[in-house]
Structure formats: structure tokens, C-alpha cells
Amino acid sequence: MAEPKKRLTSTRSGHRRSHLALKATSLSICSQCKSPVLGHRVCPACGFYKSRDILELERIAREKEERRKKKEEKNE
């Protein structure tokens, strides 16, 4: 395995590591309730994303799936 011929200086190591720092997360403002929310995620306070009520859509999808299962059980 290759070995370095000379020791790296601390300055050179520091320059290489300068991009490894953690960046602060950027927050957006929810259009419905004006609370801070991470980008591209459903608002934890009101459940809206891109002006749509995602929690309501999930509830409707669950109910639809339950009706479909009941209908299948009835036909068997």
C-alpha cells in the first residue's frame, strides 16, 4: 500500500476539511398556519403541503381502501 512521502501540514488538512462543516437547515413558512416547517415536507402543525390538506387525503384513501376490502370479503 502506498505511504505518503511527507507529512501533511495542518493548514493543508484544514483546507481539505473546510467543506465538512454541518450546514444549518433552512426553514420555510407554512402558507396556511404561518409556522416554520422544513422544506418539501408536510406541516406538522396543520397537515398542509402545497396548499393541500394531506391528512384529509390520507383519511379518504384509508376509508376507500377499507370499503374495497369489505366489498372483496362480501364477494367471497
For residue range 27-65, list pLDDT tens digits in order: 999 988 999 999 899 898 988 888 888 888 888 999 999
Task: Note whether residue 2 is domain-resident.
Answer: no
Give how many domains the chain has, as a whole number. Answer: 1
Confirm whether 43 is domain-assigned.
yes
Note down the domain range covering 54. Answer: 26-75
Whether 68 maps to a domain, the answer reads: yes
* Confidence check: pLDDT of 9 > 80: yes
Give the residue-averaged pLDDT of 4-25: 93
What's the CA gap between 17 and 11, in Å, rounded? Answer: 10
Angle at 42 between CA 19 and CA 40, to 5 degrees: 35
pTM, full prediction: 0.54
pLDDT given at position 32: 86
